[in-house]
Amino acid sequence: MRLTDALRYYVNTRVMGWTAIRVNRLYSEMKTRFRKERKDSYTAPPLRISSRTKEMIARHYLDGRFAKPYRKVAWVTSGAPVEILNALGFHLFYPENHGAICGVSRTAEEISGEAEDAGYSPDICSYARTDIGSALSGKTPVGKLPPPDILVACTNICQTVLYWYGFLAHHFKVPLILIDTPFIYTEASDHSIEYVKKQLEAAVPIAEGVAGKTLDERKLKDFMYKSRIAMDLWMEILGRGAHRPTPISAFDQFIHMAPIVEMRGHSHTIDFYAAMLKEVDRRIAHGIGAVKNERKRLLWDNLPIWHKFRFLSETLGKHGVVLAASTYTNAWAELAPMIDPEKPFESAARAYLHPMLNRGAGHKLNTMRRMIEKYSLDGVILHSDRSCKPYSIGQMDQRTLLMSEYGIPALLLEADHCDPRYFTDARTTTLLMAFIEMLGQ
């Protein structure tokens, strides 16, 4: 690496880029401070820290844009053991998070259409189609994506990643590390933990060869430690949803979960969530609820419908209904107790074996029951996501059991987390109104 490469990276990112992003954030905060609250709004104004969330995401994508040749880039699945890659100095890019940004910006349909035009089925996960379409066409709402030097996929979220990352490896002609995680029906066996641990250890020399450096165990432990702290803070924030009125809705959680997914292990992520926790506590102290005139509290199951945030938030808020908790955002915090920085490989193997999508449907049902009790919830909306089949499997039985055995009203809402072609405003409104009527006064 030449000195000029490092200089260009720091000038383009830390000096020029970050300064412009910071100025934009301060300007946005100033406008928000003097903006009058809409009288016809049924929800509270966004958290003030929202501008910092946007700033962190913008900085992360800017760093990726100018990473090469100064830094190596790794594309990873959301369930990949990223602490090892962080310790080796890789810039991490998450195609799923990019897919979510495409969903929010409503560009996913156009970009995934590029993959469909190339012969990929519309039945493939819309994250995968969006990512493949972006790789084929270069289209993206974030300017430019950094090409990968290495790919790391973990099967603890779904089997689609096997073929998705296989395409990426062929397209970009880079090595692919695949971490196979046995499915857990009851408890993880010692054999399964050792099996994953050995894969993680075997991945290190491959990643070291691409990074051009040797893994420093002290750095690895430090990233594990910081990941644990950030996840604990995130769980504390989610737990505040148990207050009445709930100060932070699942819609807020979906927006602010980006750092815990793609930036965990970094000090600025810890600082961000510590500040967010303070703001949420201020809302509690002043009795500010995420929804005005809160009447009913619900649990959201599965990925969010990224392209319909405002519609769903306003439709539910109008009737005093708040999404006080979500199994999806909870999944990024519940594994924190398994992380032990002093045993980085063993604890990583255990933690990355236990995501909700790598466990039986009964585990998710029990998780929902615990959350219903913890957050004093009145019902559940199960998003039957046509793109995320592992998350959606079992939802019909879970809905039946919630209603028949536990007396909890539950709605099955069919949609797609990114593709708007499978969502109809009128039909969804009818379903939601009927469900709200079922909840009663």
> What are 330-380's pLDDT values in tens digits?
999 999 999 999 999 999 999 999 999 999 999 999 999 999 999 999 999
Looking at residue 388, the DSSP 8-state letter turns out to be -
What pLDDT digit, counting tens, does each position of 18-43 carry?
Answer: 899 999 888 888 877 766 666 668 99
Distance CA 410, CA 396 (A): 10
Structure tokens at 313: 């938030």
Beta-bridge partner residues of 43: 291
| Total domains present in the chain | 1
CA nearest 247: which of 257, 255, 237, 235? 237
Rounded to two decimals, the pTM is: 0.95
7 pLDDT band, cuts 50/70/90, is confident
Alpha-helix residue ranges (DSSP H) falling in 294-407: 309-317, 327-330, 344-353, 361-374, 389-392, 395-404
> What b/e string do you get for 302-339 counting C-beta neighbours within 10 Å, with b at 16 or more?
bbbbbbbeeebbebbbbbbbbbbbbbbbbbbbbbbebb
Burial group, residue 37, by CB count within 10 angstroms (0-12, 13-18, 19+): exposed
Query: Is residue 385 a contact partner of residue 303, using CB atoms and an 8 Å limit?
Result: yes
Query: Is residue 436 a contact partner of residue 400, using CB atoms and an 8 Å limit?
Result: no
Range of the domain at 204: 3-32+39-439
> At which residue do the structure tokens 């469909």 appear?
116
213 pLDDT band, cuts 50/70/90, is very high
What pLDDT digit, counting tens, does each position of 41-77 carry?
Answer: 899 999 999 999 999 999 999 999 999 999 999 999 9
